[in-house]
Amino acid sequence: MQEGTNRAPVQEEFFRRIGEDSLAPLWKVLAGLVTDEPKTTIRGHRWTYDEVRPYLLEAAELVTTKEAERRVLVLENPNLPGQSRITRSLFGGLQIIMPNEVAPPHRHVAAALRFVIEGEGAYTSVDGERAWMKPGDFIITPSWTWHDHGNHGSGPVVWLDGLDMHMVNLYETSFREADEESELHEPSKPDGDSLARFGSNVAPIEHGHTAKTSPIFSYPYDKTKEALLKLRRSDEPDPHFGFKVKYINPLDGGWAMPTIATCMQHLPAGFKTERYRATDSTVFVAVEGKGRTTVGDQVFEWGPRDIVVVPSWVPYQIEADSDAFIFSYSDRAAQEKLGFWREQKLKPTVQ
């Protein structure tokens, strides 16, 4: 083609022709596909539990567990309405179960975490073992395990559901199965069996556990809080995290779930973390305490049971007005296995 010739019409005609054969020019979209830095599509947001709770109670009046199967209000990221995503890769929702109700058994490829927000007397049953729920407990439903829920208490019980369903759906590997014959699975193992076998720095010599998920599926809050308070008595707080622990698989020391990273951190009253960012968009749940989280130029005040989501690669810092304990989950576990995960501990802002 001669120099100086207007090639735009010729190029457009070329793009039209190759498009008819399901082809497209990479050079027109490359900058948007391979970006210099992460370009998040979500935004920071806070869900105030005291504002959400009345909706949960209303949902319990309007819809039975039999009708809903799982009575959950989805925590939708404001930038992704209608997609059932709290982050691009993770689901978040608040599930409520009332006294004497049962959420029937089913299983699915997506793995789930349950983080108990309110109430006692409910349980989740995983492959024949019941875990009784208390606020602050972290409970795992591993991939493709039968599970059901019930409430033997006198009041509502609410927990946060976090699932990796969007990772599963990305690979188009979702399967689900319901037990049409029974409303619940009777326990086949004693309560606390998995914790007794694997939760004391020992394991049966021939335990036979081959799943990638931790053999412990219930991590009680009182034990996690005790560990954090012991750290506080002996260590100085990390400037970016305060006192922070990860929930681990005791067999290999890795994350408790193969796709979802889960942590608990403690910030003493008056402590303010240094600015930090990482590639895993993260969901934070305040268990105790009050404070604020600054996400980019957004500031979210929070108290007990409030939920804050922080997008990928957006700087944030957390300040505690009173002693705070904060649970978090993200897709860091999956990112690390794929070699994607990065973090940046930012220097203090010069005033």
Given this model, what pLDDT does residue 262 score?
98
| C-alpha to C-alpha distance for 240 and 69, rounded to whole angstroms | 41
Given this model, what pLDDT does residue 182 score?
75
Tell me what the pLDDT averaged over the chain comes to: 94
> For residue 260, is pLDDT > 90?
yes
Residue with tokens 């009332």: 98
More confident residue, 1 or 28: 28
Residue with tokens 């799943």: 211
> For residue 164, is pLDDT > 90?
yes
> For residue 5, is pLDDT > 80?
no
Q: Tokens at residue 129, please?
A: 């073992």
Given this model, what pLDDT does residue 349 score?
63
Q: Which of 50-64, 96-110, 189-203, 294-308 has the lowest mean pLDDT?
A: 189-203
Given this model, what pLDDT does residue 267 score?
98
Q: Residue 8: phi, psi to the nearest 5? A: -55, -50
Which pTM does this prediction carry? 0.94
What are 42-86's pLDDT values in tens digits? 999 999 999 999 999 999 999 998 899 899 999 999 999 999 999
CB atoms under 10 Å from CB of 247, counted, come to 21
Q: Which domains does the chain have, with CATH numbers?
A: 37-204+213-345 (2.60.120.10)
More confident residue, 181 or 24: 24
> For residue 192, is pLDDT > 90?
no
CB atoms under 10 Å from CB of 276, counted, come to 17
User: Residue 156: which pLDDT band, with cuts at 50, 70 and 90?
Assistant: very high
Give the 3-state secondary structure of residue 17: helix
Given this model, what pLDDT does residue 179 score?
85
Residue with tokens 């049962």: 102
CA 9 to chain centre: 49
Q: Residue 51: phi, psi to the nearest 5? A: -85, -30
User: Residue 208: which pLDDT band, with cuts at 50, 70 and 90?
Assistant: confident
Query: DSSP string covering 169-227, please?
Result: HHTT---EEE-SS-SSPPPSS-TTHHHHHHSSS---TT-----SS-S--EE-HHHHHHH
